[in-house]
Amino acid sequence: MNQALKEAKGELIVFLQDHIEIEPDALERCWKKYQEHPDTCYTMPVGKRHGEEIDWDWRAYRDGDIPYDHFEIDFGMCPAKAIKDIGFDERYDSGFGFENVDTAYIMEKQGWKFMVDTNNRAVAFDHDEHEPHPYKKNSNSSLWLRRKEVIDLMYEDQTISEVQGL
């Protein structure tokens, strides 16, 4: 993802995981939401299809503000200026999860807001059914807890403009 962030040229970054299917106008909706709230990062509801039924995740029922640790990037978006200089800590690549929490925590420290956009939804297929996730049993939770302590220390006594190199 860091390589994609380096190559991105636009002012809005939209995250879309490989097992997610979006509506044809989803990117247009993302752009419109960004135009309305350029200081906010969004996560969108993702449902799992079971025959004709869709089982929606928690985001389908939680419109509005969310804490940083609820920012999901399976289908999400944020202003490029909120994330390009932060990126994702690549130590998370050898395990499962928490890279979004880590990055969102830093963005929150820098003043960015997080919301759910229930009007822009996606449907996911069961990723593990097609290709089992190699790290699903290796949670990054302990790495996140250590990183959070470091991030807190870095922001404790410094202004945001002084914090470099996370």
Rg (CA), the chain: 16
Which range is least confidently modeled, 104-108, 124-128, 157-161? 157-161
Domains of the chain with CATH codes: 2-162 (3.90.550.10)
Over residues 27-41, the pLDDT tens digits come to: 999 999 999 999 999
For residue 164, name the pLDDT band (cuts at 50, 70, 90): very low
Tell me which H or E stretch contains 9: none
Question: Does the pLDDT at position 151 exceed 70?
Answer: yes
Chain centre distance of CA 120? 15
Indicate if the alpha-carbon torsion angle 78, 83, 89, 90 is positive or negative.
positive
Lowest mean pLDDT of 65-74, 97-106, 121-130, name the range: 121-130
Q: Give per-residue pLDDT as tens, 119-130.
A: 999 998 766 566
Q: Which pTM does this prediction carry?
A: 0.80
Distance CA(106)–CA(118), nearest Å, equals: 24
What lies within 8 Å, CB to CB, of 58 at 6+ separation is: none
Q: In degrees rounded to 5, what are phi and psi of residue 21?
A: -115, 125
pLDDT computed for residue 134 by the predictor: 55
